[in-house]
């Protein structure tokens, strides 16, 4: 049995979103009970089970490089901490996830995992006591100063690196897998580098799902989110304008139908746009997205059109 104690805030930061996306993915794929404060997995192979369920095609589509930094050790350190000293991935997340899946049988967790962050002399530490025990990745510190700007800490002028236990890093990587949506090159970005899109549940949805303790609800919401990710992916690959993303997602008939069938009035997400600039990842934008089972637009369209879905289909190609 493994207890994952949750003492990290559910908020709209990228790190928090990835962490809880990964946690929800493990809940879906392993036997457990859960609440807002704790997840209790029946066996210490819960990470093995989760990684064995990763889809090879989806992994291949994760076009996401690691930072070119000497401190970026996730492609080797995570394997070392699981006892796989001769395993090392390439400097991209697709290769890393592929190797973690291939070695999923070795991903055995400790009996207790504490998801919180403490400030030590080495930096920000999650579920570890020293940076030597931890995994470091630039992707997980896109908001490098969030939560540590208080003058009480004497850290307002310092750059702190974040380090994670192998279990916390594994959960975060599952969050990357579960939320990565697409990667495109946007006009006007520095050097023409790709911008990556991640779709996560809003903090309100995460809190509600964990508080429910209902595994079926987690399964249902993840299924709807996967459909939303596919819808967003199709939009951004065609034309990644914010207005199109917001409008087309909110009017997506398939998503509305899924919500209606599950008696869900609405579902809310956050879409992150991030890009790797040299040694750091930067968050360009956070876009809130909400899908209603019954939209005011559809109510009006039904009054004036025999087949309002054709109107929506036409609007999506404007």
In angstroms, the Cα distances linking 17 to 11, 39, 173, 176, 183 are: 7, 17, 12, 10, 18
The C-alpha atoms of residue 273 and residue 286 are separated, in whole angstroms, by 6
What confidence score (pLDDT) does residue 151 get? 40
Partners of 41 in the β-ladder: 2, 32
Give the pLDDT confidence score for residue 307 in this predicted structure: 63
CA atoms within 13 A on the CB side of 119: 14
The pLDDT value recorded for residue 120 is 79
What integer pLDDT is reported at residue 248 of this predicted model?
Answer: 83
Residues 6+ apart with CB under 8 A from 125: 117, 118, 119, 131, 134, 162, 163
Q: For position 224, what pLDDT does the model report?
A: 98
φ, ψ of residue 260 to 5 degrees: the values are -60, -45
The per-residue pLDDT for 241 is: 83
Can you list the residues of the chain whose pLDDT is less than 50? 145-153, 156-157
Residue 303: the pLDDT is: 61
- Give residue 222's pLDDT: 98
Pair 164, 128: CB distance under 8 Å: yes
pLDDT at residue number 152:
42
Cα gap 30→64, rounded to integer Å: 27
What residue ranges in the chain does DSSP mark as E strands? 2-6, 32-34, 38-41, 112-115, 117-120, 123-126, 162-164, 180-185, 194-201, 266-277, 280-292
Report the percent of the chain where pLDDT is more than 90. Answer: 69
């Amino acid at each position: 049995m493994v207890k994952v104690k949750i003492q990290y805030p559910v908020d709209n930061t990228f790190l928090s979103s990835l962490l809880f996306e990964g946690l929800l993915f493990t809940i879906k794929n392993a036997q457990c009970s859960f609440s807002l404060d704790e997840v209790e997995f029946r066996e210490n192979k819960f990470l093995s089970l989760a990684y064995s369920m990763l889809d090879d095609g989806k992994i291949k589509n994760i076009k996401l490089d690691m930072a070119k930094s000497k401190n970026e050790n996730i492609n080797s350190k995570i394997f070392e901490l699981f006892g796989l000293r001769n395993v090392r991935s390439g400097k991209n997340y697709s290769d890393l996830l592929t190797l973690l899946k291939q070695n999923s049988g070795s991903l055995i967790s400790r009996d207790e995992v504490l998801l919180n962050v403490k400030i030590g002399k080495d930096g920000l530490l999650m579920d570890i006591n020293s940076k030597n025990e931890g995994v470091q990745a630039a992707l997980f510190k896109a908001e490098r100063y969030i939560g540590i700007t208080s003058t009480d800490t004497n850290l307002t002028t310092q750059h702190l690196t974040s380090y994670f236990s192998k279990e916390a890093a594994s959960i975060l990587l599952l969050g990357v897998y579960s939320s990565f949506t697409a990667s495109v090159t946007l006009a006007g970005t520095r050097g023409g580098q790709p911008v990556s899109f991640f779709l996560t549940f809003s903090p309100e949805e995460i809190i509600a799902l964990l508080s429910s303790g209902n595994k079926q609800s987690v399964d249902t919401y993840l299924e709807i989110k996967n459909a939303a990710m596919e819808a967003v992916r199709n939009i951004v690959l065609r034309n990644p304008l914010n207005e199109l993303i917001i409008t087309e997602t909110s009017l997506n008939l398939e998503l509305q139908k899924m919500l209606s069938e599950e008696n869900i009035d609405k579902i809310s997400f956050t879409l992150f746009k991030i890009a790797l600039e040299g040694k750091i990842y930067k968050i360009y934008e956070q876009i809130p997205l909400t899908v209603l089972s019954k939209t005011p637009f559809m109510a009006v369209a039904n009054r004036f059109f025999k087949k309002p879905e054709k109107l929506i289909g036409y609007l999506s190609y404007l």
